[in-house]
Amino acid sequence: MTGRRVVIAGLGDVGVLAAIKLARHADVVGISAKPGLVSGQELGWRLARPDDWARHNWIPFARFRGLDRVRTVHGTLTRVDLAARTVSVALPSGGTTEVGYDALVIATGVSNGFWRQAGFQTAAQVGDGLRDPHEKLSAARSVIVVGGGAAAVSSAAQIATAWPDKTVELYFPGDRALVGHHPRTWEKVSSRLREAGVVLWPGHRAQLEPGFTGDELTSGPVRWSTGQEPANADAVLWAIGRVRPNTGWLPAELLDEGGFVCVTPELQVPGHPEVFAVGDVAATDPLRSSARNRADGLLARNVRAFFAGEPLKSYRPPTRRWGSVLGIQPDGLEVFAPNGTAFRFPAWAFETVLMPVIVRWGIYRGVRQDK
């Protein structure tokens, strides 16, 4: 692969990991609308304790030792020329630049709420995006969380734990939340939510106006299409899973009807073997699970195999979601397996073993201390 250029379009959670794994084997260029890794994970932790969240999840690229060989471009992707094998990037100066590639990895992710947006941001704007929702929630006496996924559940738990004097209610449309997880996961998590003081309201589906995406905290009544009386709170968090793939810069021929990137089991784009996609933007399976199942390693291996003319391996998605649901709690971090079994990292191990050793060295291959 010496001399081959790989462009990583998007340096979020999975894009950074793919770039780190490929940097020792190719000339890697990463393109990001953010000035560093701004993780889309652990929404509840981000809202309740943004400073703690930022220490582990908002990391400038220069701090990653594994990215030392990677050239990063801070700008917004505007188009790809598949024939010429170039991508166009709008720069903050107002100009544009063209970046050529021998292989392109699409890892631009999705937009979802105010915490996962595709637009260009400076470091100051990232900071504002962390601080403003936290301050609004801090000032609220009552909070409604709408949604039944992990983002909604973790947010309700973290807000209730951080501000035990607030009224926190979680509304979700089904008989249980976390429908993508094993039922045993919800049994354990719902017990945890009640212990934290969260009031659970199953069977409530929000009535949404056309075009509403829930991209900001609101106040006032929440109305239900399932017939219940409106609910009121000082702050309403909409974690309703209305994800939009960040693929406006790509031609329609690469996308499915939902706008996600079509891929083969080998994470290649059909008809364009030099183009790969991974993460939330890739239509790998109904759960689009490659972002949360370390498919960055398979992706990097397949890019190297493509250049070498060797067979590629297939991604095998899990049938259920798994991982941390509530995020770090005062008594530690609980992680759920696909079968609903839980195992716990005690609180002391989170800061002394899990994050510095397993995550920063084992997964990211070294992260420098913030200066």
Mean pLDDT computed over 75-96: 97
Distance in angstroms (rounded) separating the CA atoms of residues 320 and 187: 15
- Same fold for the pair 5-121+243-319 and 133-240: yes
Split at pLDDT 50, 70, 90, the class of 220 is confident
Question: What angle, rounded to 10 degrees, do the helices at 13-22 and 295-308 form?
Answer: 40
Q: How confident is the model at residue 1 (pLDDT cuts 50, 70, 90)?
A: low
Strands (E), 65-140: 71-74, 76-81, 86-90, 96-100, 103-106, 110-111
Q: State the Cα–Cα distance between residues 361 and 68, nearest whole angstrom.
A: 15
Q: Strand, helix or coil at 350?
A: helix
| Residue listed under structure tokens 């905290």 | 217
Work out the mean pLDDT of the chain and round it to a whole number.
Answer: 94
Nearest C-alpha neighbor of 150 from the set 271, 254, 251, 42: 42
Let me know: does 110 contact 279? Beta carbons within 8 Å: no
**CA atoms within a 13 Å half-sphere pointing along the CA-CB vector of 295:** 27
What residue spans of 27-67 are helical by DSSP H?
43-48, 50-57
- Tokens standing for 294? 């370390």
* 133-240 CATH pick, 3.90.1170.50, 3.30.70.520, 2.60.40.1120, 3.50.50.60: 3.50.50.60
Crossing angle, helix 123-139 and helix 50-57, to 10 degrees?
Answer: 150
Domain ranges across the chain = 5-121+243-319, 133-240
Cα distance between residue 307 and residue 309, in whole Å: 6
pLDDT band at residue 351 under the 50/70/90 scheme: confident
Q: Which CATH class is domain 5-121+243-319?
A: alpha beta
**pLDDT at residue 2 above 70?**
no
Question: For position 328, what pLDDT does the model report?
Answer: 87
What's the pLDDT tens digit per position in 287-344?
Answer: 888 887 779 999 999 999 999 999 999 999 888 888 889 988 888 899 998 888 988 8
- The answer to whether residues 159 and 47 touch, using CB atoms and an 8 Å cutoff, is yes
Classified as helix, coil or strand, 258 is coil
